[in-house]
Amino acid sequence: MTTYAVTAASGHLGHLAVEALLERGVAAGDVVAVVRTPEKVADLAAKGVVVRAGDYSDRAALDAALTGVDRLLLVSGSEPGRRIAQHTTVIEAAKAAGVSRIAYTSILRADTSGSPLAPDHKGTEEVLATSGVPFSVLRNSWYLENYTGQLGQYLATGTLLGSTHGGRVSAASRADYAAAAVAVLLADAPEQVYELAGDSFDFTELAATITEVTGTTVTSQDVSTEEHVKALQGFGLDEGTAGFVAALDASIAAGDLETDRDDLAQLIGRATTTLAQAVKAARA
C-alpha cells in the first residue's frame, strides 16, 4: 500500500490533485490532504480522505502530517519571497518522515526564467536537489484560469489590457496540471524535470477567442509597462502589486511562458484543454 499526501489541498490545484488521485483509483484512506485549515476541506474528509493540519512554516505540524506518507505532492505556496524557507521546511519534514519521493509544482524553465516568480521555484528546486530525497519538478506554465477568471471583467469593459507586447503564453487548465501531477505521483520511474504547458496564444488571440466564444467583442490593448502600472493603480491596486502584475506581463513579453514541449499532453494521455474550451467552461 502506498500513501500519498497533497499539500495545499484547500487550494484550487491541490484540491483537484486529491480528486484526481481518487479518480485514478487510489483509496481515499490512502490519501492525506495537508492543509492549514482543515474545515476548508470538509468535502474531502466526507469522502474518507485523511485530513491533517500543516502550515508550511510549522515544522512540528508537518512532521505529524507527513508521518507514514510515501509520496508527496508539494504544491508551491502563495507568498512570493517567503516560499523558499516555507518549502524547505516541508522538504526537511518529508525527509525526516521517510517520504520516498516528492513532486513539486515549479514554474516553466525555473532555472533560466526571468519571471519574478522564478527565484522562489529555482531556490526550491535547489533545496530538493540537495535533500537526498528522490524528486520530480513539475514546471507548470500559466493557468488558463489566470485569464478565464477575469472573463467577467473583460466582457464588462470590452478590453483586455496588458503589456505583453505580442508575447505568447503556453497555458493549460489547473485540472490538466493536477492530472499530470497525479500521473507523476503514481509513476514508478518518473522523470526528474517536466516542462508542463498547453497550446500557446498571444493577447490578440486571447481577445479574439473570447469574442468568438461569447459573442461579445473584446479587444486587446497593449500598453507600455509604465502605462500598465498606472492603469492597474487606477483600478485600485497598490503600487507594489501593480508593478508585480506588470512585471509578469514583461516576463511574458520576454517569452518566459512560451514552449512547444508536450510533456503535459504526454503525461495525461490526451490533448491539453484549449483556450476556447476554457472560455466556454468559464462562460457556463
**What residues line the site for ligand NAP (CB under 6 A)?**
8, 10-14, 36-37, 40, 55-57, 75-79, 86, 105, 140, 142-143, 146, 174
Q: Cβ closer to ligand NAP: 55 or 202?
A: 55
Task: Report in angstroms how near the CB of residue 188 gets to ligand NAP at its nearest.
Answer: 26
Using alpha carbons, select from 101, 177, 166, 102 the residue that is nearest to residue 139. 177
Q: Which residue is nearest to ligand NAP (CB)?
A: 11
Please provide the size of the chain in residues: 284
Min separation Cβ 1 and ligand NAP, Å: 26
Distance in Å, CB of 171 to ligand NAP, minimum: 7
Nearest approach in angstroms of CB 62 to ligand NAP is 9
By beta-carbon proximity to ligand NAP, the closer residue of 8 and 275 is 8
Under 8 Å between Cβ of 80 and 118: no
Of the two residues 14 and 190, which places its CB atom closer to ligand NAP in the complex? 14
Cβ proximity to ligand NAP: between 93 and 242 the closer is: 93
Tell me the three cell numbers of residue 184: 507523476
- What contacts 174, CB < 8 A, 6 or more positions away? 12, 13, 16, 143, 144, 145
- CA dist 17 and 51 (Å) reads 14
Rounded to a whole number of angstroms, the minimum distance from the CB of residue 226 to ligand NAP is 24
Q: How far is the CB of 90 from ligand NAP (least distance, A)?
A: 8
User: For ligand NAP, which is the closer residue by CB, 8 or 267?
Assistant: 8
Strands 219-222 and 159-162: parallel
Residue nearer to ligand NAP on the CB measure, 82 or 216? 82
